[in-house]
Chains A and B, each alone.
Chain A
Amino acid sequence: MPSGNRARGQREVARMTASAIVSIVSLLSATLCAPLAAQWLDHPTPGIPRAPDGKPNLSAAAPKTPDGKPDLSGVWYRLSPKYGRNIAADLKPGEVQPWAETLVQQRHENLSKDSMNTLCLPLGPAYTTAGDGTTSAGMMKIVQSPGLIVILNPDLTYRQVYMDGRALETTPNPNWMGYSVGRWEGDTLVVDSFGFNDRTWLDSEGHPHSEALRTTERYRRRNLGTLDIEMTLSDPAVYAKPWTVAVSAELAADTEMLEYVCNENNKNREHWVGTAADDRKSGIKVAPEILTKYIGTYEEQPKFWSHVPRTVQITVSGAALFGDMDGRGMTPLVALSETSFSGLYGLGVDFVRDDQGPVTQLFVKHVSGNYKFLRKK
C-alpha cells in the first residue's frame, strides 16, 4: 500500500479515538470501527498548478472564481493543536466563569466520557478549531458557489454559509451547526454564526458555551496551499470578553475525504470507565535525576503527514515530568516505570536510551502504533 494511504489509514484510526483515550478497553474496541482501505485517496486534484515533477505547487497564487473572489474550494487539513485542546488557552485567570472551570475539571476527571466524540454527536462550533494535527478530525472540504458556501466534514455532516446577503435572524432556534452568513471583505471571507445549541464542547478539554455564543470567522487563502483562519468567539455568559484564536489550514491536494460514521458500531462508551484519578493512582515515583535526563525537544521521524513534523517537548516541574505536543499545552505525565509514561492527552510516551546511556528518542504510543521522535536538543 502506498505510504500516503497508510498514513491516512492511521489518521482514521486516530480519528476514531479522538478526544481523551485513556482506558485500554476503549482503545481496543475503538479499533473495531476503523475503515478499510478507501478510494480516491491518491486521485490527483484536477486543475491545480504543479511543479515540473508533478507535485502541487503549494506556494502558487490563490485561485479566483469567475466573479473575481478568492476561491477557497478544496480539501483542507485544519491544524489547531493548541485551541483544539483548549480554546481558552490565551484567556487570563478569571476570564472564564468559575462554574465553567469546574465543569472542565469534571469532564477531565471523567475522561471525556460525555464528549461529542464518544456520544457520536456533531461538534457544532468546534469543527473550525478541532484539528489537532494528529487525526483527520480537522479535515474539511469547501464547496464554494456564488450564493452558498458549503463545508463538508468527514463525519458526513455539513455546514451551510449563506452568501446571498441574508441577515442572521435575531431569535434563531438553536441547533447543532448554527446559522451562518458570509461576506467578502477584500480577499477575506468573513462568516458570522449564531444559533448553536449549548450541548457541544468548544474543545477536547470540554470548555462549554451557551446558546448566546456568536462566532466570527475570517478565512484568507494566502496561497494555493495555505488557508489562514481566525475565529472570534463571544459568549458573555461564560467568558468575560470576546477573544480570537488562529487556525492554519493546509491544502490536502491529490486526495479525498474518507467517510467516517461514528455511530457505525458504537459500542465504545460502555467500556469508557474509570477516572483520571485512577491513572494517577497507578503511577510510581521516579527519581528526579532520571526525569531530568528526558528534558528536551523531540521531532518525529519520519514526519507523520503534515507539512511540518510533529514535535514533543519534555520538561520537569517540581518532581514531575511534563509533556507538550505541537503547542497543545504542557500536561503532567504519569510514570508507569522509569521509562514508560502515560497522560500525553491520552497517549503514552516511552523513552529510549542508547548503549552509552543518553536518551536519544521517544515513542508516542497510540492504538494505531508507536511513533518515533528523535531528540533534537
Chain B
Amino acid sequence: MTSWKIAAAWWAAAPLFAQWINYPSPGIPRLPDGRPNLSAPAPRTADGHPSLAGIWQLEPAPCAPDAIAACGGDYRGGREFGNIGVRLPGGLPYQPWAADLVKKRTADLGKDDPVAWCKPAGALRLWTYPPYRKILQMPDVMVILSERDVTYRQIFTDGRLLPKAPSPSWNGYSVGKWQGNDFVVETVGLREGTWLDRNGSPITEGAKMTEKVRRTNFGNLEIDVTIDDPKAYTKPWTVRLHQLLVPDTELLDYYCNDNEKDSAHAIGK
C-alpha cells in the first residue's frame, strides 16, 4: 500500500475539523525543538504527590505499516484490549465455566459484548479501550474522563471507606490512596455481565480490583491491575498496563448510541 493510501485510511476513520486537536498542552517540559520531553521526570502536585494528570492511551500493539487500518486506524488498540491476560504465561486462570464462556463469546465474535450494544465498558476497560482518556487529579477525587461516550469514572481520595454491601454498578466504587509514589486504588461493586476484554473474560459480583498506578516519567504510566475473583478465576492475577502520554491534543466527543444501527447486524459466528 502506498503511503497516500495509508494516510487516506487513517483519515477515513478520523473525525474532521476536530477542535483543539493540535492545542499545545500548557506547562509541559519540552525539548529545544519544541517537542514534549517525554522522558523528563514525572511532575508533582502542590501537595507533593506525583501528578498523573494528562491524556493517556494504552500502548498500541505493534502494527505493520500496511495494516494500520486493520489495527484500528487512528484508534489503534493495545493487546490487552483484546485479551487482558495476553502477556500472562499460560493466560488467565479461568475457572472451567469461565473458560467455556470465553470460548463461546469468542466463537460468537463478541456479539454480546456490552460495548457492542453501547453500554458502559466498565472501570477496567476504561484503561484498555482504544479511545484516549484524561486524568484530572484533585486532592479529594481523581476523575478519569474517557472519549468513549463522553463518560467518566471517579476514584475518591477523601479518606472514605469502601461500601460494605455495594450495589453493583458498571464502574464500581473506587477509593484511592498514595503509597509512596504509587497511587493504589481499590474497587468493589463491579457489575456482573461486564466484559474485561474483547474476548469476553468475565467478572462476578464478589470481585475486587486493585490498581497500582505509577508515573515512571513524564510520558509513561504503569498500571498493575490485580483481579481477585475466586468465582471466575482459580487464583488472583495481575497484569501491567502501559499507558503513553498523548500531549498537545484534546479529547474528542464520541457517543456510541448516536445513530446506532450496528447491533442489528451483530449476529455472531
Please give the residue numbers on chain A whose beta carbons come within 8 Å of chain B beta carbons, in ascending order.
35-40, 43, 46, 66, 73, 119-122, 143-145, 147-148, 150, 152, 156-158, 160, 164, 166, 169, 171-173, 175-177, 179, 195, 259, 261, 263-264
Contact = CB atoms under 8 A, between A and B. Distances in A.
Nearest to A265: B119
Binding site secondary structure of chain A:
loop
A156 B173 CA distance: 14
A158 B153 CA distance: 10
Nearest to B21: A173
A46 B161 CA distance: 13
Contacts of B252: 175
Contacts of B23: 166
Given A38-B167, A171-B17, A173-B16, 17 more contacts: A35-B167, A119-B257, A121-B258, A122-B150, A148-B136, A150-B136, A150-B143, A156-B151, A157-B150, A158-B150, A172-B17, A172-B19, A173-B17, A176-B150, A177-B253, A259-B169, A259-B171
A148 B158 CA distance: 20
Interface string B117-148: 11110000000000000001010110101000
Contacts of A152: 143, 152, 154
- Count class of interface residues, chain B: 35 or more
B180 interface: no
B10 interface: no
A179 B167 contact: no
B143 to A, nearest CB: 6
A156 B176 CA distance: 20
Contacts of A148: 136
Contacts of B159: 46
Contacts of A169: 19-20
Contact of B166 (A39, A121, A179): A39
A171 B21 CA distance: 13
Interface of B: 15-20, 23, 26, 46, 117-120, 136, 138, 140-141, 143, 145, 149-152, 154, 158-160, 163, 166-167, 169-171, 173, 189, 251-253, 255, 257-258
21 contacts: A35-B167, A35-B169, A36-B167, A39-B163, A39-B167, A43-B160, A119-B257, A121-B258, A150-B152, A156-B120, A156-B170, A158-B143, A158-B145, A160-B145, A169-B19, A172-B19, A173-B16, A176-B258, A179-B19, A259-B169, A261-B120
Given A173-B16, A195-B19, A261 B150 contact: no
A179 B17 CA distance: 13
Contact of B26 (A37, A147, A156, A173): A147
B149 A156 contact: yes
A46 B150 contact: no
Interface centre among B143, B150, B158 (most CB of A within 10 A): B150
B170 A261 contact: yes
A167 to B, nearest CB: 10
Contacts of B163: 39-40
Nearest to B17: A173
A263 B167 contact: no
B140 A46 contact: yes
Contact of A157 (B19, B118, B119, B149): B149
B17 A259 contact: no
A210 B225 CA distance: 45
Nearest to B175: A40
Contacts of B158: 46
Nearest to A155: B151
Contacts of A46: 140, 158-159
Contacts of A176: 150, 253, 255, 258
B214 to A, nearest CB: 21
Contacts of B166: 39
Contact of A122 (B15, B160, B255): B255
B160 A40 contact: yes
Contacts of A40: 160, 163, 173
Contacts of B16: 173
Contacts of A164: 26
Query: Which 5 pairs show the lowest CB-CB distances between chains A and B?
Result: A39-B163, A175-B253, A173-B17, A156-B151, A158-B152
Contact of A37 (B46, B152, B167, B253): B167
A259 B194 CA distance: 15
Contacts of B150: 122, 157-158, 176-177
Nearest to A165: B26
Interface centre among B120, B136, B159, B171 (most CB of A within 10 A): B136
Given A40-B173, A46-B159, A173 B136 contact: no
B154 A264 contact: no
Contacts of B189: 39
Nearest to A164: B26
A121 B257 contact: yes
A150 B145 contact: yes
A173 B17 CA distance: 6
